[in-house]
Structure 1
Amino acid sequence: MNANVMSNSGDAHPLQGIFDRARRRDLSISDLFQVAETLNGAGQASQAIELYKTWVAFNEGNPLAHLAYFNFSVVLRQSGDSAGAINALRTCLALSPKFGPAHINLGRTLEDFGLADQAVQQWRTYLEATAEVNADKINHRLMSLEHSGRLLEAVGRLAEAEAALWQAIELQPSKREAGQHWTALRLRQCKWPVLVGSLHVTTRQLLDSMSPLTLGCYSDDPLFQLGKAFRYNKTLVGAPVDISLVPRNLPRKKVGTGRPVRVAYLSSDLRDHAVGFALREVFELHDKTSVEIYAYYCGEGGDGDETQSRIMKAVSCWRDIRGVSDLDAAKQIVADEIDILIDVNGYTKHARTKIFAFRPAPVIVNFCGYPGTMASPYHQYMIADEHIVPPESEIYYTEKVLRIACNQPLDRQRTIAAQPTRAQAGVPEEAFVYACFNGMQKITDECFARWMTILSATPGSVLWLLSAEEETHQRLCGEAVKHGVDAARLIFAPKAANAHHLARIGLADLFLDTFPYGAHSTAADAITMGLPILTVPGKSFAARFCASIVAAANVPELACATPEEYVARAIAFFQDRPSLAAVRKKIMDGRDASVLRDIPGLARRLEELFWQIQGDAERGETPVPDLRNLDLYYEVGAEVVLEGVGFEADGPYRQRYLSKFARLHDYAPIQFDDRLWTAEAASRA
């Protein structure tokens, strides 16, 4: 039974016979599903709903009735009747209490209504009901645990979330979704060591489950991050997409024609978000006679906020693709005749990486939203600066690196509230205030130990941190006590609106950056408010970002060569306040003329790069990402990371890799690449 049979029927009312069969209990469940699916696919959801209503009303006692109610709920939810879907799912479960998909969907629907407790309880009900084991129940049990962990984290019940996710990991360690959330959650809670295995789960499996972004907080290893990004891309996108589904646009002739190059930014963060704050003035300053800017928005919320409103006014075309499939979004980009498509998400929340896999524009660029390489076959360029990616570090990226003066755009028009007093901000009036306003996930045990060394050597000083969950506060206070530091010297700044947070930043005396994932926009905020920031640049993108910002602010001396120098200088500034005051004065005196705040210059430089990219494309010189040996860099990198080496200079770090490559090469020859494992390097290894 299919749409053609129905539409070609001589019956004046072709569906009437179907409804009659449903009433006579003569319509099988498979025929019901086929007809309903055909109706729904043809845009006749209301008819599909009526058919389900009729079938369930007249087929009470059918052993497969729970399946009918389940599919009925799906159509109801798709048509916007979530309350009806909930009722259908509850009836389904009344008929088949252990039917896993209904538990999953009912929990998700309750979650959509903001009923977090009821959603989690629904999944727990299924977990309690499935003590016996079979393949289907394991899969549904896994999904229930994963959904519970995700939602519990979202509502701030972190300990419960971690426990649920750990159960999911132990149930199927090879499934990485739960491990990805679990490792990120451990970092967010400052639980050290982060990776703790068990009889059922190895630390290698936990490392494998980390996302590329989380890995940046855990290890300063750009070669492993390169391999991780490569594997993550394959997992995220899945099997190679059928790019024949999307027409391929060849580069259009723009150079020398007087027509602007059409550039599109695709992001989930074009709203009141760090990325949105960074880019909104850039959009406004682009020369519209040189570049025509399109924006594709794929994030949550943002509707009507200040940042999104400003961006929408600044661009030539704004498209909301939140409800659009990856394939259809790619087709829209092709139809819009985009010359250069910029990925402003990378591997971050709400990224739509699969859109780029369809190659909807002749050139794809990685810029601004993600601190690292995409290691994909279709990201051809990356825009960075010489401090973050010096020439000798280009081997850590698959994209061709193009450079701007500083990788951190900012908005010079941001609103800043009146500065409060220290008492109003909750910090001691006379104390020397060290501060770090980075997220808790960036604080490692080694980083915290350095801070405690600093506090131990500077009597009366305090450390001002952004607030988190109370359990995390207590954990850090406990760690301080272990280091011989009074827990009262740790002060946690409550959440504040952005304008008020900016206003209070300047009350601190010295910002202490984290390692390996340092401050990005937070560092720019600190410099904006005249607050000096000490940092230790590492090897990876995230570990070098803050050094780029202090260089752009004309205080490169705040970048320390080693962690030991970082500690010594933090103590020295406490002991020599006039020297710190001089640095602060230097920042403020040169602030408005600094590279960091030259946003018109940044807009012009980006336009130069866009035209350079366009010229490359028209000449057939767009680079092809080199993906050779990336799986091997991942395997060797996992071994290196699990050795637990912290800060390491570039020379010894590369030699560590080369030695391991040489050992593997002796066993089975490895093809040379243009990265680290070159013929010349192999001869010396």
Structure 2
Amino acid sequence: MSEPKFSESEQELLQSLARKKNDTGPILELSRIYLRTGRADQALILLAGLAERQGMALKSLALALNGRNAEAIDLAGFSADPEEDPKILHMLAYWLNQQGCFAQALAIFRAALSRAGSDAGIRHDYAIALQRTGNLPDALLQYQAAIGQDRENPHLAFNLALALEQSDRLDDALSQIERVLAIAPDHLGALYRRSYLQRLLCAWEDYPGGLAELSVALERHLQKPGEEMISPYGLNIHFPDDKLHDRAAACYARQITEQAMNQGSLQPARRVKKSGRLNIAYLSPDFNSHAVGSLISGLFACHDRKKFKVFAYSLVKSGDGIQRQVETGVDIYRDVSLVAPARIAAQISGDDIDILIDLAGYTRNARPQILAMRPALLQVSFLGYLNTMQAPFIDAVIGDAEVLPESEESGFSEHILRLHRCFLPVTPRDVGSNPGRGKLGLPTDAFVFCSFNHSYKLQPQIFALWMKILRTAKGSILWLLADRATIRDNLLAAAAEAGIGPERLIFADRVPLTEHLARMKSADLLLDTPGYNAGATIIAAAQAGLPTLTLRGNRILGRMGASLNKTLGLDELTCDTADEYLGRAHDLVKDRDRLDAIRERLENAAAEKLSIKEYCEDLENLLLKHYRQISVQA
């Protein structure tokens, strides 16, 4: 969510209070700024004098700012009185929302709106609270009502764009981002989301210019970050410059750490266990039908219970089959989707977790603030964030010798832990029978290249290379995952510019994983995306017996295909140059016998080398070894 910058408003309010010390309006507004910028102690000083003259809401807020959170939350239950000052109700609701007390926050937001009549600021924060609880339809209504009152507020307009994006209204979200930039051309968050949405929609025409603007804005931000916080995740998509990502990640990690310190929520130091089994925990928003969830859901049941007690903390509730598999595979499953980071950290600390494995990093719905509060002795990044986090609260990252060779170590702040196989876990899946090309709309006798990667991993350069492959491989087709008309139209236009007719591109919709695995059998060769490789997709392809042609890149996200091919003994499918990639694709089209032999080797190797039980044993040995090293140091 976007927050406005407060420095100018703060100075004006201080000047106003200098003229009139007991003016309630400026006191409340300045307290609101202090509360939102992590200066609860200063807010408390201002509000203390008002508490005796006001009702339950302000008394509850004063208790909160004095660190007496439990009493404040109890008292807040009596604070939704529409006769209270709406500014006080607004501040209390905002604080409760930050604490994860969403039901109380929403009730008090409604009381504040009832008292204030129509207030854009209250509606804005109410919309944010609704969005955080997953009530996107009502959040959109509140955002739109607030914008009707405050059309020139870029932060409000930007948060509406985020809600539209989260509602999967991507074209509307991109249009809304353009409106934000019309109000505030230098809005970094809007520049960031515009480039991402352009990649997601394969709207490449305006992408280079927007990327140049984003690069300038990022440099300006990194030189003087201020209050704005920008996750570095998108840089993995947009920029091949590792240094830019690393600087942005370090900046973001500092801001996250400062937040944790300002909240006073750092957990007590953990002691090393010299004997007995360890408590290991996995933290993720993606215990569901997400790439991470599909890969890891079968791992938890494989842990050796003589060595580990297994916990899972779920940041997003879905209730789908993958989440149920995770829940049954662990010893303790905690749904913390509606709990504030400080309370989650306290729960992890209270559960006496020894090793905390973060599966999200800086990705969507991640909460790195939890890790910044240091609830576990050993905190490890794994699988979800495919780069360094540059964070003092992440001790180690898990990879393998291919995705994290020694040459990469200098760029990582984390200690690198290397598995003896491809670092991607493989949860066993039932691969149904091939439905046949006819039912899938594929030509029966053509060579079928495919790419089922997410559209944001596509870029003009690799798409142009694929069009070259189609030109040299007469009669071949490219089968792509594109379930949105805008994406299909943009890809067809790009193909036409390269001289490839629309009949050479065939588009697939999203289907359940079991159906997806079955239909993959109808393809001949999966073309990986350089720069940002497929992850879960190449694992699914291996399970379906579909070989992957990959072009080795940098860091974890650009070397996953090479890692899997190495584990499977298929190094000849890993290329180091675009020319080699093009030539290898052409050779396999011409030599079907060679391709058939590769598929047979793949099927045999997948059965032998992708065992989830052996993977789990390797992972446990790696973690125990590093934990013992910490014990020796301690």
TM class by shorter chain equals: 0.7 to 0.9
Matches within 5 A, 1:171-250: 171-172=183-184, 175-192=187-204, 193-197=206-210, 203-205=215-217, 211-239=231-259, 241=261, 245-250=266-271
Unmatched runs of 5 consecutive residues or more in structure 1: 1-26, 57-64, 132-137, 622-685
Counterpart residue type for residue 34 of structure 1: L
Matches within 5 A, 1:567-586: 567-586=582-601
Counterpart residue type for residue 220 of structure 1: P
User: SS in structure 2 opposite 1:592?
Assistant: helix
The higher-RCO structure (CA 8 Å, 6+ apart) is: 1
* CA-to-aligned-CA distance 1:49-70 (integer Å, 9 cap, x gap): 3xx24x37xxxxxxxx764785
Q: Is 1:251 aligned to residue 272 of structure 2? A: yes
Q: Is the 8 A contact 2:57 2:92 kept in 1?
A: no
Corresponding residue number in structure 2 for 1:600 = 613
Corresponding residue number in structure 2 for 1:682 = none
Corresponding residue number in structure 2 for 1:612 = 625
In 2, Cα distance between the equivalents of 1:248 and 1:114? 34
Q: Is 1:499 aligned to residue 511 of structure 2? A: no
The higher radius of gyration belongs to 1
Matches within 5 A, 1:495-644: 495-594=510-609, 597-620=610-633
Corresponding residue number in structure 2 for 1:670 = none
Distance 1:206 1:36, change over 3 A: closer
Q: Is 1:345 aligned to residue 366 of structure 2? A: no
Distance 1:28 1:195, change over 3 A: farther
Query: 2:317 aligned to 286, 290, 301, which one?
Result: 301
1:369 CA displacement: 1.8
* CA-to-aligned-CA distance 1:360-414 (integer Å, 9 cap, x gap): 22221111221111111121211110110111221221111111111110112x2
Q: Is the 8 A contact 1:220 1:543 kept in 2?
A: no
Q: Is the 8 A contact 2:303 2:617 kept in 1?
A: yes
Corresponding residue number in structure 1 for 2:378 = 363
Moved more, 308-317 or 489-498: 308-317
Distance 1:614 1:126, change over 3 A: closer
Distance 1:356 1:109, change over 3 A: closer
1:578 CA displacement: 1.9
1:482 CA displacement: 0.5
User: What is the identity percentage for the equivalent residue pairs of Structure 1 and Structure 2?
Assistant: 28
Query: 1:484 aligned to 486, 492, 499, which one?
Result: 499
1:187 CA displacement: 1.3
Query: 1:288 aligned to 305, 317, 342, which one?
Result: 305
Corresponding residue number in structure 2 for 1:378 = 393
Counterpart residue type for residue 618 of structure 2: R
TM-score by length of 1: 0.75
Counterpart residue type for residue 410 of structure 1: V
Corresponding residue number in structure 2 for 1:635 = none
Counterpart residue type for residue 456 of structure 1: R
Query: 1:163 aligned to 172, 175, 182, which one?
Result: 175
Counterpart residue type for residue 559 of structure 1: T
In 1, Cα distance between the equivalents of 2:424 and 2:364? 20
In 2, Cα distance between the equivalents of 1:310 and 1:28? 53
In 1, Cα distance between the equivalents of 2:175 and 2:604? 51
* CA-to-aligned-CA distance 1:330-385 (integer Å, 9 cap, x gap): 22222222222211111112212111112222221111221111111121211110
TM-score by length of 2: 0.81
User: SS in structure 1 opposite 2:551?
Assistant: coil
Counterpart residue type for residue 294 of structure 1: F
Q: Is the 8 A contact 1:345 1:370 kept in 2?
A: yes
Q: Is the 8 A contact 1:197 1:206 kept in 2?
A: no
Q: Is the 8 A contact 1:381 1:401 kept in 2?
A: yes
Q: Is 1:267 aligned to residue 284 of structure 2? A: yes
Counterpart residue type for residue 400 of structure 2: D
In 1, Cα distance between the equivalents of 2:384 and 2:134? 29
Distance 1:31 1:348, change over 3 A: same
Moved more, 533-542 or 330-339: 330-339
What is the alpha-carbon root mean square deviation over aligned residues?
3.2
Counterpart residue type for residue 567 of structure 2: A
Q: Is the 8 A contact 1:269 1:276 kept in 2?
A: yes
Corresponding residue number in structure 2 for 1:148 = 160
Distance 1:365 1:121, change over 3 A: closer
In 1, Cα distance between the equivalents of 2:457 and 2:94? 41
In 1, Cα distance between the equivalents of 2:496 and 2:126? 46
User: SS in structure 2 opposite 1:43?
Assistant: helix
Aligned length: 564
Corresponding residue number in structure 2 for 1:406 = 422
Counterpart residue type for residue 216 of structure 1: N
1:478 CA displacement: 0.5
Distance 1:66 1:324, change over 3 A: closer
User: SS in structure 1 opposite 2:530?
Assistant: coil
1:169 CA displacement: 4.1
Distance 1:113 1:335, change over 3 A: closer
Distance 1:213 1:268, change over 3 A: same
Q: Is the 8 A contact 1:367 1:383 kept in 2?
A: yes
In 2, Cα distance between the equivalents of 1:188 and 1:588? 33
In 2, Cα distance between the equivalents of 1:537 and 1:425? 31
Q: Is the 8 A contact 2:387 2:556 kept in 1?
A: yes
Q: Is the 8 A contact 1:37 1:48 kept in 2?
A: no
Unmatched runs of 5 consecutive residues or more in structure 2: 1-50, 64-70, 222-228
Counterpart residue type for residue 603 of structure 1: C
Distance 1:112 1:591, change over 3 A: closer
Corresponding residue number in structure 2 for 1:43 = 74
Q: Is the 8 A contact 2:58 2:92 kept in 1?
A: no
Counterpart residue type for residue 494 of structure 2: E
* CA-to-aligned-CA distance 1:153-173 (integer Å, 9 cap, x gap): 233332321122233345446
Corresponding residue number in structure 1 for 2:123 = 103
1:45 CA displacement: 4.3
Matches within 5 A, 1:436-451: 436-451=451-466
Distance 1:488 1:238, change over 3 A: farther
Distance 1:491 1:601, change over 3 A: same
Q: Is the 8 A contact 2:87 2:112 kept in 1?
A: no
User: SS in structure 2 opposite 1:347?
Assistant: coil
Corresponding residue number in structure 2 for 1:648 = none
Counterpart residue type for residue 47 of structure 1: F
In 2, Cα distance between the equivalents of 1:430 and 1:471? 29
Distance 1:211 1:423, change over 3 A: farther
In 1, Cα distance between the equivalents of 2:112 and 2:562? 54
Corresponding residue number in structure 1 for 2:475 = 460
Distance 1:389 1:332, change over 3 A: same
User: SS in structure 2 opposite 1:104?
Assistant: helix
Corresponding residue number in structure 2 for 1:642 = none
Moved more, 68-77 or 553-562: 68-77
1:75 CA displacement: 10
Q: Is 1:310 aligned to residue 334 of structure 2? A: no
Corresponding residue number in structure 2 for 1:435 = 450
1:571 CA displacement: 1.8
Moved more, 331-340 or 183-192: 331-340
Q: Is the 8 A contact 2:431 2:544 kept in 1?
A: no
User: SS in structure 2 opposite 1:281?
Assistant: coil
User: SS in structure 1 opposite 2:283?
Assistant: strand
1:247 CA displacement: 1.1
